[in-house]
Amino acid sequence: MAAGNVNPFNLSDSEDEADQRAEDGVHIEKSPSVGTQGPSSNNPFSPQADAEPPALLVSSTRTSPCVEGISVSVAAAAMTVALAETRVSVDVIAAQLIRDHYILTALEFHTELLESGRELPRLRDYFSNPGNFERQTGTPPACKEQGLGPGGPLNRAGSISTLDSLDFARYSDDGNRESDERVAESDTQERNKNYSSHPETQEPIRPLEKRALNFLVNEYLLKNEYKLSAITFSDENDDQDFELWDDVGLNIPKPPDLLQIYRNCGSALPSPRNTVDVAVGVESGELTGNYITQKSDLLQQQQTEVVEELEYQISLLNEEKQSLADYIKKLQSEIQSLRRTVSPPPHDQGSQPNPPSSSSSSTPPQPLLDNGQYLDIRGASEPDKPPTESIPPTQTISNPTHTSSQPHAKLKSRGTVVFDQPNRKLSPAFQQALLSFCKMSADSRLGAEVSRIADNEESVMLMLGRCLPHIVPNVLLAKRERMVAHLCQELIPLILCTACLHPEPKERDQLLHILFNLIKRPDDEQRQMILTGCVAFARHVGPTRVEAELLPQCWEQINHKYPERRLLVAEACGALAPYLPKEIRSSLVLSMLQQMLAEDKADMVREAVVKSLAIIMGYIDDPDKYSQGFELMLLSLGDPSERVVSAIHQVFIPAFAAWTTELGNLQTTLIPSLLARIEKLLKQGEHGLDEHKLHMFLSALQSLIPPLFSVVIQNAPFTHRVNLQGDIPPIEVTRFPRPASPLQDIATIVGSRETLSALLILYDYQLEHEGTTGWDSLLWVVNQLLPQLIDIVGRINVASTTCVHEFSRFFWRLCRTFGKIFTNTKVKPQFQEILRLSEENVDALTGNGILTKATVPIYATGVLTCYNQDEDRKLLVGFLEDVMTTLSLSHAPLDSLKASFVELGANPVYHELLLTVLWYGVVHTSALVRCTAARMFELLVKGVNETLVAQRVVPALITLSSDPEISVRISTIPAFGTIMETVTQKELLERVKMQLASFLEDPQYQDQHSLHMEIIRTFGRVGPNAEPRFRDEFVLPHLHKLALGNNVQATESKRIDIATQLFEAYSALSCCFISEELMVNHFLPGLRCLRTDMEQLSPEHEVILSSMIKEGEMKVENRGIGQAEGSVSIAASLVGEDAKTKFLSKMGQLTTSGAMLANVFQRKK
Using one digit for the tens of pLDDT, what is the confidence trace for 427-477? 888 888 888 887 665 555 565 666 565 555 555 666 566 666 656 665 544
Name the residue among 163, 182, 173 with its Cα closest to residue 107.
163
* Residue 648 reports pLDDT greater than 80: yes
Alpha carbon of 609 to those of 558, 571, 574, 651: distances in Å?
11, 7, 8, 11
Share of the chain above pLDDT 70, in %: 67
d(CA 1132, CA 1139): 6
* Residue 1054 reports pLDDT greater than 90: no
Q: Could you report the per-residue pLDDT of 932-976, keeping only the tens digit for each?
A: 999 999 888 888 888 888 888 999 999 998 888 899 999 999 999
**pLDDT for res 273:** 47
**327 falls in which pLDDT band (50, 70, 90)?**
confident
* Residue 41 reports pLDDT greater than 70: no
**763 falls in which pLDDT band (50, 70, 90)?**
very high
**pLDDT for res 845:** 45
Higher pLDDT: 292 or 806? It is: 806
d(CA 35, CA 32): 8
Q: Could you report the per-residue pLDDT of 1101-1134, keeping only the tens digit for each?
A: 778 888 888 877 777 777 555 454 544 444 444 4
559-586 average pLDDT score: 90
**pLDDT for res 602:** 92
Residues 6+ apart with CB under 8 A from 1016: 1039, 1042, 1058, 1061, 1062, 1065
* Residue 740 reports pLDDT greater than 80: yes
Q: Could you report the per-residue pLDDT of 528-547, keeping only the tens digit for each?
A: 888 888 888 888 888 888 88
Residues 6+ apart with CB under 8 A from 208: 158, 159, 160, 248, 249, 250
**pLDDT for res 629:** 92
**857 falls in which pLDDT band (50, 70, 90)?**
very high
d(CA 632, CA 609): 11
Ramachandran sector of residue 819 (left: φ over 0; alpha: ψ -120 to 50; beta: rest): left
Alpha carbon of 331 to those of 339, 368, 406, 460, 911: distances in Å?
12, 10, 15, 11, 86
351-365 average pLDDT score: 37
E-assigned strands of 690-796?
none
Contact 149, 281 (CB under 8 A): no
Residue 648 DSSP one-character state: I
Q: Could you report the per-residue pLDDT of 915-937, keeping only the tens digit for each?
A: 999 999 999 999 999 999 999 99
Q: Could you report the per-residue pLDDT of 880-907, keeping only the tens digit for each?
A: 999 999 899 988 889 999 999 999 999 9
Q: Could you report the per-residue pLDDT of 288-303, keeping only the tens digit for each?
A: 445 455 556 777 877 8
d(CA 217, CA 712): 79
* Residue 1091 reports pLDDT greater than 90: no
**pLDDT for res 132:** 79
* Residue 57 reports pLDDT greater than 50: no
Determine how many CB atoms are found less than 10 A away from the CB of residue 424.
Answer: 13
The dihedral built from the CA positions of residue 743, 747, 749 and 751, taken in this order, carries a sign that is negative
**Mean pLDDT (the chain, rounded):** 74
Phi/psi at 322 (5° precision): -65, -40
Contact 440, 315 (CB under 8 A): no
Residues 6+ apart with CB under 8 A from 633: 648, 652, 653, 656, 700
d(CA 155, CA 136): 7
* Residue 19 reports pLDDT greater than 80: no
Q: Could you report the per-residue pLDDT of 110-119, keeping only the tens digit for each?
A: 888 888 888 8
**pLDDT for res 699:** 94
Q: Could you report the per-residue pLDDT of 79-110, keeping only the tens digit for each?
A: 444 444 456 788 889 888 988 888 889 898 88
Task: Give the CA radius of gyration of the chain.
Answer: 49
**pLDDT for res 391:** 32
**713 falls in which pLDDT band (50, 70, 90)?**
very high
* Residue 493 reports pLDDT greater than 90: no
Residue 564 DSSP one-character state: H
**pLDDT for res 1142:** 46
**pLDDT for res 240:** 87
State the maximum Cα–Cα separation within the chain, in Å, rounded to a whole number.
Answer: 152
**pLDDT for res 142:** 42
385-399 average pLDDT score: 33
pTM over the 0.75 mark: no
**358 falls in which pLDDT band (50, 70, 90)?**
very low
Q: How many helices (H) and strands (E) does the chain have?
A: 61, 0
Alpha carbon of 650 to those of 329, 488, 655, 1100, 1155: distances in Å?
59, 31, 9, 58, 51
Ramachandran sector of residue 791 (left: φ over 0; alpha: ψ -120 to 50; beta: rest): alpha
Name the residue among 495, 491, 459 with its Cα closest to residue 475.
491
Contact 513, 553 (CB under 8 A): yes
Across 170-179, 397-406, 460-469, 813-822, least confident range: 397-406
Q: Could you report the per-residue pLDDT of 146-163, keeping only the tens digit for each?
A: 444 444 444 444 444 444
Q: Could you report the per-residue pLDDT of 764-800, keeping only the tens digit for each?
A: 999 988 888 889 999 999 999 999 999 999 888 888 8
* Residue 52 reports pLDDT greater than 50: no
Determine how many CB atoms are found less than 10 A away from the CB of residue 1119.
Answer: 10
Higher pLDDT: 683 or 179? It is: 683
226-253 average pLDDT score: 85
237-250 average pLDDT score: 84
Contact 500, 460 (CB under 8 A): no
212-237 average pLDDT score: 88
